[in-house]
Amino acid sequence: MNRMLAIVEREMRKFFRSPVLMIMSMMLPLVQLIILGNAFGGKIHNARIAVVDYDHGPQAVKVHEAFDSVAANIATFTTVTYDDETTAREDVRTGKVDAAVIIPAQYSRRVYAQDAPAIGLVVDNSDQFMSSSLEAEMQSLIDALNQPVIQDRVVKNIALEIVELYPYVEYMKYLLPGCVALAMYISVMIGGGMLYIDDKARGVHEGYLVTPISKLELVMGLNVAGAIKAVLAGISLTVIGSLIAGLGTIFNPLADIELILLILGTSLAFNGMMFLMMVRVDDPLVPRAMFGVLNTLLYFPSGAVYPIAAFPKWLRAIAVVDPFSYAIHGFKAILLKDGGFAAIQYDLLFLFVFGIGTLLIATTLFKRTL
Amino acid sequence: MSTAIQPGPAINGNGPNSTGAAIAVENIVKRYGTFEAVKGVSFSVAEGEIFGLLGPNGAGKSTLIRMMTTLIPVTSGRALVGGHDVAKDPDDVRRMIGVIPQALTSDQDLTVEENLNIYAKLYSVPRAQRVKNVNAVLEAVDLLKWRDAQTKTLSGGMRRRLEIARGLVHDPRIFFLDEPTTGLDPVSRIAVWEMLNNLKKTRNLTMLLTTHYMEEADRLCDRIAIVDHGNLVALGTPAELKQSVPGSNVVEVQFNREHDLWKARLEAIPNVTEVQAQSGGVYRVLTSNGSQTTTQLVEMAASLGEQLTSLSVQNTSLDDVFVHYTGRQLRDEQVKSVFMMPPRPGAQP
């Protein structure tokens, strides 16, 4: 036990004397939280739409009025009047405008005649986000134009009333759980993986191996130290990230206990996984090369930035065995929904079982000799 | 030129079963796949002795020391350290040894005292004893006033002294040092030698060190084993080893021009026992009568109308012992030839 604590003491003294690891492990997740949180999840504003009106009838005027209303209120787009469709199409293609609306000749007459009137929308679908946003906006305008002036006595359309359980979750808040897990992963990767292999290469482990320390004491010492570093990174990012994103869950003591449990489970799982991968590695280049690959392989399929339900089957299979998925699910359940222990119990179970399991395998594989 | 252990007093090969031996190695072999790094080496080290393993890089010295310190498993044979088998009782061996690795591995971010304390804890030294031991080893290596300094602020020599202190902090009986002065300047190297000699006297430590410095082995070691290509080729005290080489003096001579017959002519001079041709047209002539051989050599050159570029006479050194037993210089010959300066353009040969 004392020998294990000596290893922990050595690692922690080094850690606190050189705060670079702490700063580095929090830098990327914080930048990601601020930049991605602000860049994504917003709504389209001031897109430019070319309007080509070949009709100029009263119904076409109604369309123009609807466009003006959008421009004056939510400002999703503003309109630019074009004389011919060809120029408008060309300008969509070259990016001068984001879309073009074509009101064909005889549009008003066909509306009155109920003769399948149609308005054309030309979009640049190389930008899926912009085109789908404009399509949705246009569709809602068309739906509004389709509403009869005098309502039928019998309602023909079934309305869907949506009840949102939680206040509007901005993308930055949605990202926070992933950023907490990412900070812990980076801490484990640098503080556990890279430093461990660097120490091996420098001969520090040779120094340990000539002492009477047992295999278990050495593995536990290294992993307890790694877990403490990851826990500190996790707690720091949860607090700082919550304040930046405007989440108040951290002020609920019960939620704090649940968060601590999740952070402990996550750090155990990440450390176990990392140690298992590094237990037979000697080359200091290996963890550096693995850093980016593992980050992409584990972080992105975890639901941190995009819902797992939208993934193809093979990517979902990765998410099932990825500790990131359970960590992020748990953090979301507490930070965004304050879901209580029931919401995270299976995440905790997976994280602790995964962590203990990987550590046991790593201990078996650990060589007590060079 | 012999490459085998010679019988006789010069090569005093103690058997591994010698009573009271601190270290006893018996036919120890280390094999990596088909490559045999250590090929059945046997020797023993008495209590309180400083024993040197001398050999060039890649000779198998570090492999030997790593087997004795339980760092790598033994392929076959047996090594007893402090009476414990390294393969069967590795923890008992680890408790009684101190090891100084080749590289400087103390943590640079920690202070001198913190480094020592952590290693004392790894050996489960009780708190009160730890305080006492840390003070004692800091005094022994003359680092008392640097105890609170961060290791990264120390010079190379001081860091090496810290490594030695770290190896002693649990009060071991047997001390292994793998090339303890590699990378040190001459002044620091001499300081380390003096310190090791003092430690031997004050602590009655048994020391086994590896080195490729002849002078280090000569000044520090009670006995030396020469290791080459995984074999132990000679073993004895420095004096015994020097006596085992035919010729008590070495005449080093360089002629003004190269000639194929020089070696044969030098060998024909009376009292000459061996002639070694070296790079740059230099010949090392081993002789039992240095002054007489020098006179005859000068006379021979004069009679042939040749001039001597340089001439020196010295006693037999461990370098000559090494060349005698291994057939080559201690420094890697390949490296030497690679780094030999090319002749200056236009210079006379």
ipTM: 0.77
- How does DSSP classify residue A306? S
Helices A171-187 + A20-39 axis angle, to 10:
160
Contacts of B102 in chain A (CB under 8 A): 203
Q: Which residue, among A196, A202, A210, would best test binding to B if mutated, counting the most B CBs under 10 Å from its CB?
A: A210
Please state, as a whole number, how many other Cβ atoms lie within 10 Å of the Cβ of residue B318: 23
Q: Which residue has the higher pLDDT, A108 or B257?
A: A108
- pLDDT of res. B18: 47
Q: Which residue, among A204, A206, A217, would best test binding to B if mutated, counting the most B CBs under 10 Å from its CB?
A: A206
Outline where B204-277 has alpha helix (H): 214-220, 238-244, 262-267
Vertex A291, ends A302 and B103: CA angle to 5°?
Answer: 150
Contacts of B97 in chain A (CB under 8 A): 210
- pLDDT of res. A39: 78
Judged by CB atoms closer than 8 Å, whether chains meet at A207 and B71 is answered as no
Phi and psi at residue A78, to the nearest 5°: -120, 155
Please, are residues A188 and A274 in contact by the beta-carbon 8 Å criterion? yes
- How does DSSP classify residue B13? -
Handedness of CA A84, A110, A59, A135 (dihedral sign): negative
Whole-number Å distance between alpha carbons of A270 and B171:
39
Please, are residues B179 and B102 in contact by the beta-carbon 8 Å criterion? yes
- How does DSSP classify residue B212? S
Q: Which residue of A has its CA nearest to B122?
A: A3
Residue from the list B71, B101, B123 with its beta carbon closest to the beta carbon of A212: B123
Q: How many CB pairs under 8 A join A and B?
A: 69
- pLDDT of res. B162: 94
Whole-number Å distance between alpha carbons of B26 and B45:
12
Phi and psi at residue B201, to the nearest 5°: -70, -45
Phi and psi at residue B227, to the nearest 5°: -115, 135
Judged by CB atoms closer than 8 Å, whether chains meet at B66 and A370 is answered as yes
> A202 CA to chain B: closest CA distance, Å?
6
Mean pLDDT of chain A: 88
Judged by CB atoms closer than 8 Å, whether chains meet at A13 and B101 is answered as no
From B44, B47, B51, B48, select the one nearest B16 (Cα to Cα). B44
- pLDDT of res. A82: 93
Contacts of A3 in chain B (CB under 8 A): 121-122, 124
Residue from the list B97, B105, B109 with its beta carbon closest to the beta carbon of A18: B109
Q: Which of residues 54-73 of B touch A (CB under 8 A)?
A: 66, 69-73
- pLDDT of res. A168: 65
Whole-number Å distance between alpha carbons of A166 and A339:
11
- pLDDT of res. B330: 54
Residue from the list B73, B97, B107 with its beta carbon closest to the beta carbon of A369: B73
- pLDDT of res. B222: 93
Which residues, given as ranges, of chain B have pLDDT below 50?
1-18, 331-343, 346-349
From A27, A357, A350, A36, select the one nearest A187 (Cα to Cα). A27
- pLDDT of res. B151: 93
Query: What is the CATH code for B246-315?
Result: 3.30.70.100
| pLDDT reading at A76 higher than 90 | no
Q: Which residue, among B121, B129, B166, would best test binding to A if mutated, counting the most A CBs under 10 Å from its CB?
A: B121
Please state, as a whole number, how many other Cβ atoms lie within 10 Å of the Cβ of residue B222: 15
Cα dihedral B1/B5/B10/B12 (nearest 10): 170
- pLDDT of res. B9: 32
- How does DSSP classify residue A279? T
Judged by CB atoms closer than 8 Å, whether chains meet at A3 and B122 is answered as yes
Q: Do domains B21-242 and B246-315 have the same CATH topology?
A: no
Residue from the list B97, B107, B124 with its beta carbon closest to the beta carbon of A210: B97
Domain limits, chain B: 21-242, 246-315
Q: Would you mind telling me the total number of residues written for chain B in this entry?
A: 349
Judged by CB atoms closer than 8 Å, whether chains meet at A14 and B107 is answered as yes
User: pLDDT digit string (tens) for B151-184?
Assistant: 999 998 899 999 999 999 999 999 999 988 888 8
> Could you tell me the CA-to-CA distances from A366 to A359, B163, B304 in Å, in that order?
10, 26, 71
Whole-number Å distance between alpha carbons of B336 and B349:
20
Phi and psi at residue B253, to the nearest 5°: -130, 145
- pLDDT of res. A149: 65
- pLDDT of res. A248: 87
CATH class in words for B21-242: alpha beta
Q: What percent of chain A has pLDDT over 70?
A: 94
Judged by CB atoms closer than 8 Å, whether chains meet at B109 and A17 is answered as yes
The highest-confidence range among A44-53, A321-330, B240-249, by mean pLDDT, is: A321-330
User: pLDDT digit string (tens) for A332-369?
Assistant: 999 988 889 999 999 999 999 999 999 999 999 998 88
| pLDDT reading at A151 higher than 80 | no
Residue from the list B70, B97, B101 with its beta carbon closest to the beta carbon of A207: B101
> Which domains, and CATH codes, for chain A?
2-39+170-365 (no CATH), 47-144 (3.40.1710.10)
The string of DSSP letters for B314-334 reads: EE--HHHHHHHHHSS-SS-HH
Lowest mean pLDDT among A136-150, A249-263, B2-16, B42-56: B2-16
Whole-number Å distance between alpha carbons of A32 and A181:
12
User: pLDDT digit string (tens) for A178-221?
Assistant: 999 999 999 999 888 888 899 888 888 889 999 999 999 999 99
Half-sphere exposure for B71 (CA within 13 Å, toward CB)? 23
